[in-house]
Structure 1
Amino acid sequence: MRVVRVREEAGDRFELIDEHGEVDGRAASFVRSLLGRGCSPHTVAGYLYDLRRFYVFLGESGLTLSSFKVAHSVDLLAWLGKIQSNRVRLTSFPAAVRTTLSPTSINRIMAAISSFFDHLVLAGEPGVDANPLATSQELARGGVARRRARGARRLKRVERIPRPLSRDQVEALLAVIDRIRDRAMILLMLQGGLRPGEVLNVHLDDIEYGRRRVTIRHRTDHPKGVRTKSRKERVIDLHEPEALAAVSRYVATERPTNAPSRHLFLVGGGGHRATEALSYAALAKMFKRRCIAAGLRESWITPHALRHTHATWLWEGGMRELALQRRLGHASYESTKGYTRVSDAMMLEDYRRALAVQADRVRNAEAL
């Protein structure tokens, strides 16, 4: 089976093609439900790639959708754990080592398959009357006893801490940016905490220079398919002057004046695509090129790392959890709490207090 991209004027769509060259009907129905829930085409593609792996597992195991039960989830986890990842891990040896899928990737695949089974149940798929991969929490929310889900499996994953750039790294990056547009985009992510997709979807009328703020709106009309992640619109105050100054300078001096698009950031230059909205691929390419010029070659330094840096600096500066959550546009505190583990102000204060007490005890002991 394979996932194919079909390019259309209304936008790209993805399909799962079986071994006979036909569109898989169940997957197509699943895709329609995902699009109906507002998922982006790229999210749909991710689901289809995960579903393709599940179909391969069923074929190798001699199972069908209706015969797959909770007990088979252990075999599925073991099978997924043997799949090689596309990423490589650098070692002290001359050659890099290709790793297997991470627990996070495996859990994502399991969640996608679980969503697929939920859809099959709702669609009335013959032989599928329950989701065999539903977790205890999912069943409990549906009013079903938790004991029914004892066989459902997920892997424990590492809760990674967001990695912010240091002040020196930020200064090195900004020092190599000579194009006004690029500087404006990077400063909006760094000083406003915007996601890359949000930066690319900002319109001219979203900027309020007098009130020093930018409004982040949910948009799906980007001609290059870039989408804002969150459906929750928010207002971001920008009281650090550099970002809005760079945006104002870009609009006044560099942005094509004859552009029909209301998107703020365009391709620009003297080519025939100058008035087109900038794509995510172009942003990522620009950022990587700037990082190389600044000597920042770590793989974790991506455009999204600027958002991590913004959030970490605000938390370390004393911003409260709820305020930080609202500024970042997180739907729940679970997404925000990662920044509190980077530098916990309360823990640091307790640590300093403990050191002071310990030092007093040593001085008192020496005085005796």
Structure 2
Amino acid sequence: MAGAARDAFLQWMETERRASPLTVTAYRGDLERFLVFLTGHLGAEPDLAALAGLSLADLRAWLAHEHGVALNARRPTTQDRAARTRARRVSALRSFFRYLARHHGVDNPAPGLLATPRTRRPLPRPLSGPQALEVPEGVSDLAHTSMAQSRDAALFMLLYGCGLRISEALALDVRDLEQAAAMGNPVAGDGVLRIRGKGGKERMVPVLPQVMQALRRWRHAHPLPQPDAPLFVGVRGGRLQAGIAQRAMRTWRHMAGLPEHATPHALRHSFATHLMEGGADLRVIQDLLGHASLSTTQRYTLADEARLMDVWTRAHPHATDTVP
């Protein structure tokens, strides 16, 4: 039945495509709702033959149904958010049916004919230089044990110092740190980390001496010496969960009076923005971040222009002039 194909697709997304957990979770919810809708729409639980026979009108009927459900529930949403939700659902359908075509012989062109709504990608919102530098010490000071303090200081210094995604940092093992030190300059005390990013793509990221020092301090306090142990561990010795790191920074930002966008991912934005402000080449920043497209990296240029315009309108005397 279609449910088994859906589960196989999600497993394939997770293991073969190495999609992020958030993407897999979102696609799972969308496809579950899609198959439930089809059961009522077609009068029976769909099988692969039913999926192959779906028309463009059937797919549009589901998208319209979901939109109606959201309106009836009176969920607070914006037009742009609704467009992003529809775009994700269209993407889930297209990916699912491409998988069915390749692995189950279900050839249905209808999902490819769905129009994808245009969405406005939000500009990155980095922290200022002083704020970003304050994060590792500020967050680690809230930890309840000396082990957690050393771990959090190293983790958040790594996020800002290397521009990693939180998932990339938490996927590192102890051996990765040892290899980074081996590839670095022993005199300077720096290193080079091999990072496995989205889609399993690898990139090499230089590690500044200050960041390596924090990582080495954490390595000496690490409770598990084995090379295959997670580099960042929780209190029970397992791999640290992203939610715990996010909660720690959320607690600290409330105490420090920082805005809501001060998250672990904002440190990645800060890394890129501060490099660009320092004159780094956009292609270099693209490589360091692991962006597949330069257009993704160029968002930091737009964000910097928006920030400069905001400073101008607040500070320049002519900003308040009116044109006769």
Q: TM-score range by the shorter chain?
A: 0.7 to 0.9
Partner of 1:133 in structure 2? 111
Partner of 1:69 in structure 2? 55
User: Separation in 1 of the partners of 2:203 and 2:104?
Assistant: 39
Aligned match for 2:100, one of 120, 134, 138: 120
Partner of 1:104 in structure 2? 84
- Post-superposition Cα deviations, 1:61-92, rounded to whole Å, max 9, x if no partner, equal 4475344312344434333334449xx9xxxx
Q: Does 1:53 align with 2:21?
A: no
Q: 3-state DSSP class of the match of 1:99? A: coil
Partner of 1:27 in structure 2? 6
How far off its partner does 1:40 sit?
5.1
Partner of 1:242 in structure 2? 210
Q: 3-state DSSP class of the match of 1:65? A: helix
How far off its partner does 1:344 sit?
4.7
**Letter of the 2:296 counterpart:** S
User: Separation in 2 of the partners of 1:99 and 1:40?
Assistant: 26
For these two proteins, the number of residue pairs brought into alignment is 284
Q: 3-state DSSP class of the match of 1:98? A: coil
Q: Does 1:80 align with 2:49?
A: no
Q: 1:290 to 1:341 in 2, by over 3 A?
A: same
Q: Does 1:197 align with 2:159?
A: no
- Post-superposition Cα deviations, 1:228-252, rounded to whole Å, max 9, x if no partner, equal 534222221233x432222222223
How far off its partner does 1:286 sit?
2.1
User: Separation in 1 of the partners of 2:132 and 2:20?
Assistant: 33
Which one has the bigger strand percentage?
1
Partner of 1:320 in structure 2? 281
Write out the 4+ residue segments of structure 1 that deviate beyond 6 Å after TM superposition.
none
- Superposed counterparts of 1:342-361, under 5 Å: 342-344=303-305
Q: Structure 2: 5+ residue runs without aligned partners?
A: 44-49, 142-148, 319-324
User: Separation in 2 of the partners of 1:45 and 1:196?
Assistant: 17
Partner of 1:145 in structure 2? none
**Letter of the 2:55 counterpart:** K
Q: Which protein, 1 or 2, shows the higher relative CO under an 8 Å CA cutoff with sep ≥ 6?
A: 2
- 8 Å contact from structure 1 (residues 73, 153) kept in 2: no
Q: 1:79 to 1:318 in 2, by over 3 A?
A: farther
- 8 Å contact from structure 1 (residues 316, 344) kept in 2: no
**Letter of the 2:194 counterpart:** I
% identical aligned pairs: 29
- Superposed counterparts of 1:243-262, under 5 Å: 243-252=211-220, 254-256=221-223, 261-262=228-229
How far off its partner does 1:308 sit?
0.8
Q: 3-state DSSP class of the match of 1:331? A: coil
How far off its partner does 1:310 sit?
0.5
Which one has the bigger helix percentage?
2
Partner of 1:141 in structure 2? none
Q: 1:73 to 1:25 in 2, by over 3 A?
A: closer
**Letter of the 1:77 counterpart:** L
Q: 1:102 to 1:237 in 2, by over 3 A?
A: same
Aligned match for 2:232, one of 254, 259, 265: 265
Q: 1:256 to 1:313 in 2, by over 3 A?
A: same
How far off its partner does 1:311 sit?
0.6
Partner of 1:159 in structure 2? 121
How far off its partner does 1:36 sit?
5.6
Q: 3-state DSSP class of the match of 2:108? A: coil
User: Separation in 1 of the partners of 2:121 and 2:11?
Assistant: 33
- 8 Å contact from structure 2 (residues 17, 199) kept in 1: no
**Letter of the 2:244 counterpart:** A
User: Separation in 1 of the partners of 2:15 and 2:152?
Assistant: 35
User: Separation in 1 of the partners of 2:263 and 2:202?
Assistant: 24
**Letter of the 2:298 counterpart:** K
Q: 3-state DSSP class of the match of 1:160? A: coil
User: Separation in 2 of the partners of 1:328 and 1:30?
Assistant: 28
User: Separation in 2 of the partners of 1:201 and 1:123?
Assistant: 30
How far off its partner does 1:309 sit?
0.8
Partner of 1:207 in structure 2? 180
Partner of 2:265 in structure 1? 304
Q: Does 1:335 align with 2:296?
A: yes
Q: 1:258 to 1:33 in 2, by over 3 A?
A: closer
Q: Structure 1: 5+ residue runs without aligned partners?
A: 1-21, 89-96, 135-148, 219-227, 359-368
- 8 Å contact from structure 1 (residues 184, 243) kept in 2: yes
- 8 Å contact from structure 1 (residues 198, 216) kept in 2: no
